[in-house]
């Protein structure tokens, strides 16, 4: 046979305080949650932009490198390989370093 729930004044008092403070806690949490959601969205957008810039630079470097091989131009080859490598480095920054910023404020 199940036991009957007993009335405990201390638990009732805690429950009433929880009900009174529900709106206040919810508003505080919502403000912080909205800020963090905005911040995380900004970080992900920044990451995508940096990756796109790095990819563009890498493609431009590959074109310069192939152009340098086609015309047997050592200057264009050098510039192309530098652009290709720097594009790869910028992509790495966008993939690894920028997402670490989201943990900065949490």
Query: Do the domain assignments include residue 5?
Result: no
Query: Do the domain assignments include residue 3?
Result: no
Sign of the alpha-carbon dihedral angle for 93, 96, 102, 103 = negative
Domain total for the chain?
1
- Residue 88's pLDDT is what? 97
Residue 72, CA atoms < 13 Å, CB-side half-sphere: 0
Chunked in runs of 10, what are the mean pLDDT values of the chain (106 residues)?
A: 62 64 56 72 93 97 95 94 97 94 76
- Interacting residues of 12 by C-beta distance below 8 A, sequence separation 6+: none
Tell me the C-alpha distance between 59 and 37, whole Å: 33
| Long-range CB contacts (within 8 A, 24+) of 18-25 | none
- Residue 3's pLDDT is what? 65
Query: Do the domain assignments include residue 69?
Result: yes
- Residue 5's pLDDT is what? 60
Q: Which domain holds residue 24?
A: 10-103
- Residue 34's pLDDT is what? 73
- Residue 28's pLDDT is what? 56
Query: Do the domain assignments include residue 2?
Result: no
Query: Do the domain assignments include residue 4?
Result: no
- Residue 33's pLDDT is what? 59
Least Cα distance to 90 among 61, 52, 62, 59 occurs for 52
Query: Do the domain assignments include residue 86?
Result: yes
Query: Do the domain assignments include residue 94?
Result: yes
- Residue 69's pLDDT is what? 94
User: Left if phi > 0, otherwise alpha if psi is -120 to 50, otherwise beta: which for 72?
Assistant: left
């Amino acid at each position: 046979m199940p036991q009957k729930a007993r009335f405990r004044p201390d638990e009732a008092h805690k429950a009433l305080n929880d009900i009174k403070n529900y709106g206040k806690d919810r508003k505080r949490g919502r403000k912080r949650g909205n800020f963090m959601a905005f911040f995380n969205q900004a970080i992900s957008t920044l990451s995508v932009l940096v990756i796109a810039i790095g990819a563009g630079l890498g493609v431009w470097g590959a074109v310069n490198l192939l152009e340098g091989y086609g015309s047997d131009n050592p200057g264009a080859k050098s510039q192309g390989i530098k652009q290709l490598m720097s594009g790869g480095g910028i992509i790495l920054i966008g993939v690894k370093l920028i997402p670490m910023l989201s943990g900065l404020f949490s």
